[in-house]
């Protein structure tokens, strides 16, 4: 696995993917490849029941490494090249609950990768934002879609259009993160929450995630049909 990423499996069914490019954990091509490899490995291990995304160093991730755009004629062309190696859909499509632990800077691609997880927990020192608009860019590592799905278009517009950053307390108020804890408690609380998620019956967890996503993606009639279908599947699985 690339040196930018570490993958650890524990006996409770929790797989932890850790970013290893401190202090800023800048998201570069090596980290992208490492994430793809780690997510693929997690997907192929049937005993995994929860995935944690975390980072070493002072900051979770300050975003993409713009220096890698190199000799491309524009940052837009360079970004298109990077999309060819995309870890985002593999992360979204993992069949188990995903949890992200944020601290320090979680900006640009750093925040966007966390938004593709089911839940986010943050330390009080976390600073979150999508500053791409200040560079004439879109937060196109899923940011416009995932943040809107999390907190709705009314709350998203002021953040994305201004590119401003917010602290962890405001992020919790908006619904971007589910919990805020002191920095010294982040690791321990993440372990506790991951263990809780891992104890959920895998079929039930999968069904709940599908139904909740349907609430965002489908008209109410189709969402209700999805809920009924998955409820039947879970009942049949429990009987079996």
Q: How many CB atoms lie within 10 A of CB 163?
A: 17
Token duo for residue 99? 């949890």
For 119-161, write each residue's pLDDT tens digit.
Answer: 999 999 999 999 988 888 888 778 888 999 899 999 999 999 9
Structure tokens at 107: 């900006």
Mean pLDDT of 157-168: 93
Where are the domains positioned within the chain? 5-198, 202-239
Spatial distance between the Cα atoms of 217 and 6, rounded to a whole number of angstroms: 33
CATH no., domain 5-198: 3.90.226.10
Q: Which residue has the tokens 């908006």?
A: 174
Question: For residues 186 and 121, what is the distance between their CA atoms, to the nearest angstrom?
Answer: 8
pLDDT at 87: 81
Query: Among 77, 112, 170, 192, which one carries the catalytic annotation?
Result: 112
Q: Where does residue 148 rank: exposed (0-12), middle (13-18), buried (19+ CB within 10 A)?
A: middle
Give catalytic status of residue 37 as yes or no: no
Give tens-digit pLDDT for 73-117: 665 565 555 556 678 888 999 999 999 999 999 999 899 999 999
- Which of the following is catalytic: 37, 73, 132, 221? 132
Consecutive H or E run containing 127: strand 127-129
pLDDT tens digit string along 199-238?
999 999 999 999 998 988 889 999 999 999 999 999 998 6
Residue 73 known to be catalytic? no
């Amino acid at each position: 696995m690339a040196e930018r990423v570490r993958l650890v499996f524990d006996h409770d069914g929790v797989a932890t993917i850790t970013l290893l490019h401190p202090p800023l954990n800048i998201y570069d091509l090596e980290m992208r490849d490492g994430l793809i490899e780690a997510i693929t490995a997690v997907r192929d291990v049937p005993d995994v029941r929860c995935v944690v995304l975390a980072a070493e160093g002072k900051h979770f991730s300050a975003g993409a490494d713009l220096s890698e755009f190199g000799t491309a004629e524009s940052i837009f062309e360079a970004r298109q090249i990077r999309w060819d190696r995309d870890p985002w859909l593999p992360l979204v499509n993992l069949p188990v609950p995903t949890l992200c632990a944020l601290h320090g800077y979680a900006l640009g691609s750093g925040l966007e990768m966390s938004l593709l997880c089911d839940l986010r927990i943050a330390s009080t020192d976390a600073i979150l934002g999508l500053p791409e608009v200040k560079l004439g860019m879109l937060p196109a590592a899923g940011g416009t879609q995932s943040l809107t799905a999390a907190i709705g278009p009314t709350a998203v517009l002021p953040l994305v259009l201004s590119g401003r950053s917010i602290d962890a307390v405001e992020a919790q108020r908006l619904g971007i993160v589910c919990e805020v804890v002191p920095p010294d408690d982040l690791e321990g609380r993440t372990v506790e929450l991951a263990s809780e998620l891992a104890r959920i019956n895998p079929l039930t967890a999968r069904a709940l995630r599908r139904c909740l996503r349907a609430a965002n993606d489908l008209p109410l009639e189709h969402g209700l049909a999805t809920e009924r279908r998955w409820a039947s599947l879970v009942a049949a699985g429990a009987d079996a």
